[in-house]
Amino acid sequence: MLGTIINTCTIVIGATCGSLFGDKISERYKQALFNGLGICCLILGANAALPNMQKSEIPVLFILSIAIGALIGTKLDLEGRIERAAKGHKREVQGLTTGVLLFCIGTFAIVGPVQSALSPSHGWAFNEPANTFLYTNATLDMVGSAVLAASYGRVMLLAAPILFCWQGFFYMVAYHFSAAMPEPMRNELSIVGGVLIVSSGLSMLGIKDCKTVNMLPSLLVPVIFYVVKGLL
């Protein structure tokens, strides 16, 4: 759990620095950072999805997950509801969504808390090898949150508690019900998450607004599938 706490703190530090010094960066350089981060989203998303596709038990599950999740999200109009709740701040919502996907989806963010929970010290030892994933993730997230906050502002601070709850969920499930989080489920989550990160990157680069928020329910499909499979 120590790794998750450190990871959360680095996002707060990065987002704070980015929002404080963002006003001192001209729009020209902000756009350059924005474009660079969009390209990074494409690379990171592909890196999260492609290696896990090779380990997938059901290669078509991620396709079904994206399709079902997109239909549910569109029916519920998740993106529209969030934008209306945020009083039309579409750009900030997009930034926060991108940040949450970058910070929460991927091998480090999912496997890290699981390994910490299953380690002898349950992840509370500073030099615990299981925390290596999260320390690496924390470094990446601090840089990413600073760049995002320079463009989107203080809204990126909200990514910190979301990350804490996300990793805390995986930690608690692994701590109490290790069998409930099988490796195939984690693989499928990484694939679907990688696709969503690529979707965010396309939106940031202005190539295609894929309505990524509406596709967020896709992350629930692999979980529901393996829970049902475990009950049969």
Residue in the structure block whose two tokens are 């900030």 = 92
pTM of the model: 0.76
State the average pLDDT over residues 65-78.
93
Nearest to 83 by CA among 210, 198, 214: 214
The predicted-structure confidence for 87-131, as pLDDT tens digits, reads as follows 767 778 888 888 888 888 766 677 778 778 777 676 677 776 666
Quickly list H helices, 86-211.
90-104, 107-118, 132-152, 159-176, 183-204
DSSP-derived secondary structure for 13-60: HHHHHHHHHGGGS-HHHHHHHHHHHHHHHHHHHHHHHHHHHTT-SSTT
Say what the pLDDT of residue 130 is. Answer: 61
Look over the chain and give the mean of its residue pLDDT values, rounded to a whole number: 84
- Taking the C-alpha atoms of residue 170 and residue 186, their distance in angstroms, rounded to an integer, is 10
pLDDT at 180 over 70: no
- Taking the C-alpha atoms of residue 67 and residue 27, their distance in angstroms, rounded to an integer, is 37
State the average pLDDT over residues 62-68.
95
Give 29: exposed, middle or buried? Use CB within 10 Å, 0-12, 13-18, 19+. exposed
Asked whether 152 and 18 are in contact (CB, 8 A), the reply is: no
Instruction: Quote the percentage of the chain above a pLDDT of 70.
Output: 91
